[in-house]
Amino acid sequence: MKNFSPQVTWVLLALALAVLLAAPFVLYPRFLIEIMCFALLAAALNLLVSYAGLLSFGHAMFFGAAGYVTAHAVKVWGLEPALGIVSGVLVAAVIGWVTGLLAIRRQGIYFSMITLAFAQLIYFLALRMDFTGGEDGLQNVPRRALLGVVDLSGNLAMYYMVTLITAFGFFAIYRVVNSPFGQILKAIRDNEPRAISLGYRANRYKLLVFVISASLAGLAGSTKAVAFQVVTLADLTWVTSGEALLICILGGLQTLLGPVVGAILIVSMSHYLATLAEWVLMIQGLVFVVVVMLFRKGIVGEYYAWLDRRAARREAVPLTPPVPEQ
């Protein structure tokens, strides 16, 4: 997280609040909700990739599984949205724990492949199991009143609820990263043997952050299920995982705002090019290639780097050293 001065941070936060409050009157709430759900999913993935150094290809499984459970809970069991979302998140956490147990012990590409394998497993299970509705998915999930009280049938109300949830998710990530726990994670990421030699049980920390990341991805999926009232197999495919990854990279790994910027761009693009479906895939691939080759830090990352360079130039060391006192 970029260290702006406190005044700047407060101004930025106030600005963000104003934008968030006003946005649904300028753009379609559903569009904004979609951006926020994907931003949260990408942020969850970003947490894992950037701060734990673990590249997961299977985050869609948390996203989709939580979505299915929440949709089922709300539609069939009649739970109200808050409980439904909580159940979805819990399921995602459990899946994350089981997957993590097996995946954490392996390094690098093996870790990624295990996550991919588990994701495919979940996908096939979802395809076959009855409660997921197979190819059709779960549709017409009713919009019950939040906590039995707040009416969510209108898009504006739903938008505010999603904004709150997303803000909570991002705040959770911020707290995880800027905490002793986050520091230890960074240490493990940078030099695991050394961290272990200092007495930290690296695998436990990695498993914990994996579960946190899975839960947040599940939160995104559950929220999306409640807001859009439908869950399909597409939410579970590795294409969705790939999109989340693209958002992370485009926005900037190792930044908190990167996923937001990336989500805005990617979701907007798929909306405005909705009529040209194949173009979307091509453009996404092109963006991937260009970003990886040229702008590895992503949009937000490059901006921060530019800010750093500017600050460094201001504090440049004078060319002639001061004369020492005699």
Partner 1 sequence: MNEIFGIPLSAFIGQLMIGLINGSFYALMSLGLSIIFGLLHVVNFAHGAQYMLGAFVAWGLLEFMGIGYWPALLITPLVVGAFGLVMERLLLRRLYSVDHVYALLLTFGVAMLMEGAFRWKFGATGQPYPNPLKGGFELGMTFIPAYRIWVIAASLLLCLSTWFVIERTKLGAYLRAANENAPLVRTFGINVPRMLMLTYGLGVGLAGLSGAMAAPIYQVNPLMGNSLIVVVFAVVVIGGMGSILGSIITGFGLGVLEGLTKLFYPDAAGIVIFVAMIATLAIRPHGLFGQEPK
Binding site for partner 1 (CB under 8 A): 55, 102, 105-110, 112-114, 116-118, 120-121, 124-125, 127-128, 238, 242, 245, 249, 278-289, 292-293, 296
- Can you say how many angstroms the Cα of residue 104 is from the centroid of all Cα atoms in its chain? 19
CA dihedral of 100, 253, 217, 287, whole degrees rounded to 10: -120
Q: How far is the CB of 215 from partner 1 (least distance, A)?
A: 22
Q: How far is the CB of 303 from partner 1 (least distance, A)?
A: 20
Q: Which is nearer to partner 1, 160 or 288 (CB)?
A: 288
Q: How far is the CB of 273 from partner 1 (least distance, A)?
A: 11
Cα Rg of the chain (Å, integer): 21
> Any residues with CB less than 8 A from the CB of 100 and at least 6 apart, and which?
206, 207, 210, 211, 214
Q: Which is nearer to partner 1, 79 or 94 (CB)?
A: 94
Dihedrals phi, psi of 231, to nearest 5 degrees: -130, 130
Q: Which is nearer to partner 1, 222 or 284 (CB)?
A: 284
Q: Which is nearer to partner 1, 82 or 280 (CB)?
A: 280
Max Cα distance, the chain (Å): 88
Q: How far is the CB of 207 from partner 1 (least distance, A)?
A: 15
Q: How far is the CB of 193 from partner 1 (least distance, A)?
A: 14
Please measure the distance between the N-terminal and C-terminal CA atoms of the chain and give it in whole angstroms. Answer: 45
> In 3D, which of 135, 128, 125, 101 has the Cα closest to residue 115?
101
Q: Which is nearer to partner 1, 226 or 246 (CB)?
A: 246
Q: How far is the CB of 120 from partner 1 (least distance, A)?
A: 5
Whether the CB-CB separation of 226 and 236 falls below 8 Å is answered with: no
Dihedrals phi, psi of 125, to nearest 5 degrees: -60, -45
Q: Which is nearer to partner 1, 18 or 121 (CB)?
A: 121
